[in-house]
Amino acid sequence: MKKICLIIAVLSLFIIGCGGKEESSNKIRVAYHPNMGGASTIITGIKLGYFKEQGLEIELVKFTSGPPEIAAMISGDVQVGYIGFGAHTLASEGKVQIIATDGLAAVEGIMVHADSGINTVEDLKGRTLGTQLGTSGEATIEQVLTGASITKDDIKILNSEVATAVAAFISGKIDAISVWPPYTIEIENRLGTENIRRLIPTQLEIQATASWIVTPKYLEGNQETVEKFVTALYKSMDYRDENLDEVIGYVAELVGIDVETVEKERYSSDWMNSKKMKDMLTSGEIQKIYEQQGQYFKKNNRLEGEPVPIEEYIRIDVIEKSLNQVN
C-alpha cells in the first residue's frame, strides 16, 4: 500500500511539473479602461509591436473602474493595470505599486440637469448625486466641494456601478452625477450639451494622476518583466505624443465607438512622455504630486490610517531603468 501511495505521489509531482506549471512570465494580462486615458498607451504599444520587441505577450482585460480591477490583480487574475485618480487611495495605502505615470488628468466636474435648479455647489445640498465610490467620481466630488460651505454628508450620494448611475441620470431619476469619459461624453450625446450644466472646482488642491500599477507580490517575482513592460509603455507614450490623431483611431477601434466620440477626450489629460517623466523625476515634481495626493486622501478620510511614504509604492528604480531603455 505504501509503495502504491509513493508511486501516486511521484506521478502527481511529475504531472504538476509538466502540465501544472504557471503561465510564462512573458504573458501579461493587462487591465485597461475604455477611454483615451485607460487605453491609448497600451493599444499603441500593441499596434506598433513595442511589447513584442520586449518579448512580451499582452492580453487585454476591460474594466470600467479601479476597485474591481485591483481586486482582480490581488487575486492574480490580472498582472498589470491602469487606474484613474480615485483608486490611488490603494497606492497611498501601499497595497499596489506605481510603475508608470500615464498623465495628469483634467477634472471633469459634476454634471447636473440644466433645469434642475442647481446653479451652485451649495445647491447640491439635499439633492441626489450618483457615482461609484472609491473611484475618480468620488474624488471629483471632493474637488468640487473644496472651499464650499457644504460637505459630502450634505448630499444624498447614490453609490452604484457607473453604468447604472449614468442610466439613472439620463432618465432623470437623480439630480447630478460624477463620472468620467467616455460616460460624460455619452451623457452629452444622449441629453445634449444645452441640457447639462457642469459644476467645476473653483480651485484645485492637487493634480490628479493616472497611473499603471502592479501588486507588490507580482513585482517581487517578475521585476525584469515589469521593466520591459514599462519600457514599451513609455515608447508608446512618446508615439502618442507625436501622433495623437492616429492613436485616437486605435482607441476607437479597441473600445468600439466612433472616432468623433474619442476625439472629445483629446484634452482630457496632460499626456505623459519619456522626456517629461525624466524631467519630473529629476526635479522631484512627480514625487511631490503623489505625496500631495496621499495627504489629500488622508484629509478626506479616504485612507485606512496614514499614507505610506511614497518611496514604498512608487517604484522609481523600475521607472528610471525602463526610461533609460527608451530610444
Q: Are domains 26-105+208-323 and 110-199 of this chain identical in fold?
A: yes
Q: Which residues of the chain have pLDDT under 70?
A: 1-25, 202-204
Task: Say if residues 193 and 289 touch (Cβ distance below 8 Å).
Answer: no
pLDDT tens column, 15-64? 333 333 334 469 999 999 999 999 999 999 999 999 999 999 999 999 98
Per the rule left: phi > 0, alpha: psi between -120 and 50, beta: everything else, 135 is beta
Cis (ω within 30 of 0) for the bond into 181?
A: no
Asked if residue 281 lies in contact with residue 319, where contact means CB atoms within 8 angstroms, the answer is yes
Say what the pLDDT of residue 135 is.
85
pLDDT for the residue 50: 98
* Rounded-to-integer distance, Cα 236 and Cα 61, Å: 19
State the fold for domain 110-199: D-Maltodextrin-Binding Protein; domain 2 (3.40.190)
Domain positions in the chain = 26-105+208-323, 110-199
Distances (CA, A) of 306 to 42, 94, 194, 295: 32, 10, 43, 8
Q: What pLDDT is attached to residue 204?
A: 67
- Tell me: the pLDDT tens digits for 179-215? 988 889 889 999 999 999 999 876 667 888 999 999 9
Q: Is residue 267 a contact partner of residue 283, using CB atoms and an 8 Å limit? A: no
Read off the C-alpha cell for 193: 450639451
The confidence score (pLDDT) of residue 236 equals: 98
On whether the 26-105+208-323 domain is CATH 3.40.50.970, my answer is no
- According to DSSP, the β-strands at 110-113 and 176-177 are antiparallel
Where are the strands (E) in the chain, listed by range? 27-32, 57-62, 80-83, 97-105, 110-113, 128-131, 156-159, 176-177, 196-199, 208-214, 269-271
